[in-house]
């Protein structure tokens, strides 16, 4: 029997409608969440992400600014913009789109964002809070994955979850959030021997390795929930995930499509963090 393909569009619409209503309630209290997005250079994928984020803010009623800077923008100039946004009371969240041009130190820029406005959850303070279980922002893509699992009524507690990938943006924080939900978590990566043996034990498999269609049916436990975080463009222009969707479809119990699920849900969690930040700034949380 074919896996249930998760309807990402339907889930995202429900989440964003909830946020729209929440923003309407805040407006009654004279509070409007604000997000500033900074894009340096002309990376096509980054430009698409930024456009989607701005559109999502508009739909939810969140004030947004997009700062588009040329490729040759200096590090000092970018840091000065971040500092100005740190002090802008209209702005509750600051997102600097990565990757940055090579002449700019990404760590310096991330560290310059005030932790209270770090809605991407990249600042060391927020990453530390995540690690020790303190309240704070949740990293957007991993939080989006958890949201998908919960809305699909997937029981996470006690299950064996395997994360393929150990990046700071997805793999590591994904493992932490699954642990918070009481899963038993294994992290696989490029140096994991016999990965197939491990992934095929997973009740929940999260693929976040950045290699197109790497995960095949042989990696999947029959009936497993497969969450594909990857988004890769093939030479023919087709967008695919880290999971070979067609190959896995008859083995998995549930699977996310690419594109159309984890990506839009990631943006939804960015909205969630921005709303939380606005509430804190207004003393409402």
Buried b (16+ CB within 10 A) or exposed e, 140-174: bbbbbbbbbbeeeebebeebbbbbbbbeebbbbbb
Strands 239-240 and 232-233: antiparallel
| CB-based burial label for 210 (10 Å; 0-12, 13-18, 19+) | middle
Catalytic residue selected from 53, 117, 159, 172:
53
- Return the DSSP state at 116: G
Annotated catalytic residue 120: yes
Cα-trace Rg, the chain: 19
Annotated catalytic residue 97: yes
Catalytic residue selected from 97, 172, 203, 244:
97
Catalytic residue selected from 120, 228, 242, 244:
120
Strands 204-207 and 160-164: parallel
Q: How many CA atoms lie within 13 A of 274 on its CB side?
A: 35
| CB-based burial label for 60 (10 Å; 0-12, 13-18, 19+) | buried
Residues in the chain: 285
Main-chain dihedrals φ then ψ at residue 118, nearest 5 degrees: -85, 75
| CB-based burial label for 178 (10 Å; 0-12, 13-18, 19+) | buried
- Residues with a known catalytic role: 53, 97, 120
């Amino acid at each position: 029997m074919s896996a249930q393909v998760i309807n990402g569009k339907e889930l995202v619409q429900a989440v964003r409608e909830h946020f729209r209503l929440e923003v309407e309630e805040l407006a009654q209290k004279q509070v409007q969440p604000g997000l500033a997005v900074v894009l340096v250079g002309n990376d096509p994928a980054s430009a698409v992400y930024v456009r989607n984020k701005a559109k999502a803010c508009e739909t939810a009623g969140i004030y947004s600014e997009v700062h588009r800077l040329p490729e040759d923008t200096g590090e000092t100039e970018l840091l000065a913009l971040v500092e100005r946004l740190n002090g802008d009371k209209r702005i509750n969240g600051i997102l600097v789109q990565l990757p940055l041009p090579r002449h700019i130190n990404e760590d310096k820029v991330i560290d310059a964002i005030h932790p209270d406005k770090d809605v991407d959850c990249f600042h060391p303070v927020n990453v530390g809070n995540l690690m020790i279980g303190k309240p704070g922002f949740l990293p957007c893509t991993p939080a989006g994955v958890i949201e998908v699992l919960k809305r699909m009524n997937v029981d996470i507690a006690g299950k064996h979850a395997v994360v393929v990938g150990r990046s700071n943006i997805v793999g590591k924080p994904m493992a932490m959030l699954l642990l918070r939900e009481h899963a038993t978590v294994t992290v696989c990566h490029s140096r994991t021997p016999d990965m197939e043996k491990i992934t095929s034990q997973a009740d929940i498999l999260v693929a976040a390795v950045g290699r197109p269609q790497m995960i095949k049916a042989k990696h999947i436990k029959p009936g497993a929930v497969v969450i594909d975080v990857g988004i890769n463009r093939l030479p023919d222009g087709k967008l695919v995930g880290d999971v070979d969707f067609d190959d896995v479809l008859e083995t998995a119990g549930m699977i996310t499509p690419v594109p159309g699920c984890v990506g839009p849900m990631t943006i939804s969690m960015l909205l969630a963090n921005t709303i939380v930040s606005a509430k804190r700034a207004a003393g409402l949380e």
